[in-house]
Amino acid sequence: MPRALFEPITARNAFVFKTVRLRALQDAPYAFSATYAKESQFPDAEWARRAERWNGETGVGFLAVDGDNACGIVEAFLDANATRAQLVSMWTAPTHRRRGVGRLLVNEVLRWACLRGASSLLLMVTSNNEPAMRFYEKLGFGRTGRTGPYPHDTGVLEYEMSRAVS
């Protein structure tokens, strides 16, 4: 069982959020549609706005923290009709992988989505990220058959995966 604790992303920890998000983009650039080059240029005011956006009724973000070390992040939002939630960003530090932190981050999103009445949680995963696909499959996600191009590499697809929120 991981020692990590989870806390919502808020204005109070916006700069921890910034640090973790930028670490994620550097560590796994193939896993995100955003880039480190772009987001590292954002002013602090943009990070504060993002923290507010991920701390509301229609969007949520959580940080995993192990002692003083932020070791994971997850972000999600509700679709316009609020019956589906979209997991849009997920990362666990290499030092905390395969220790249950990622599973617990996804569970936090599932709990949030359930409280808001969503019936399914969807995500996109790149075709070159087999470990992530296996991870999500172990958590009950399955491919929906929907694919799309990955914006940073024309040879890579994104697969949509979904699971019920219960």
User: The domain containing residue 100 runs over which residues?
Assistant: 5-164
Percent of the chain residues past pLDDT 90, beyond the cut: 77
Q: In whole angstroms, give the CA distance from residue 50 to residue 42.
A: 11
- How confident is residue 119, by pLDDT bands cut at 50, 70 and 90? very high
- Which CA distances in Å does 52 have to 20, 25, 47, 90? 16, 20, 9, 18
Report the range of poorest mean pLDDT among 42-46, 145-149, 150-154, 161-165.
150-154
Q: What's the pLDDT band for 4 if we cut at 50, 70, 90? A: low
What's the pLDDT score for residue 54?
A: 85
Average pLDDT over residues 73-84: 91
Res. 121: pLDDT tops 90: yes
Report the predicted TM-score, pTM, of the whole model to 2 decimal places: 0.91
- Once rounded to an integer, what is the mean pLDDT over residues 56-70? 89
Report the pLDDT averaged over residues 49-66: 90
Query: 25: exposed, middle or buried (C-beta count within 10 Å: 0-12, 13-18, 19+)?
Result: buried
User: How many Å apart are CA 107 and CA 60, to the nearest integer?
Assistant: 13
Nearest 5°: the CA angle 54, 144, 55 is 5
Report the C-alpha gap between 56 and 38 in whole angstroms. 25
Residue bearing tokens 């930028």: 22
> Which CATH number belongs to the domain containing residue 52 in this structure?
3.40.630.30
Cβ atoms 148, 124 nearer than 8 A: yes
Q: Residue 150 above 60 pLDDT? A: yes
Higher-confidence residue: 39 or 69? 39
Q: Is the pLDDT of residue 14 over 80?
A: yes
SS3 13: helix
Number of domains in the chain: 1
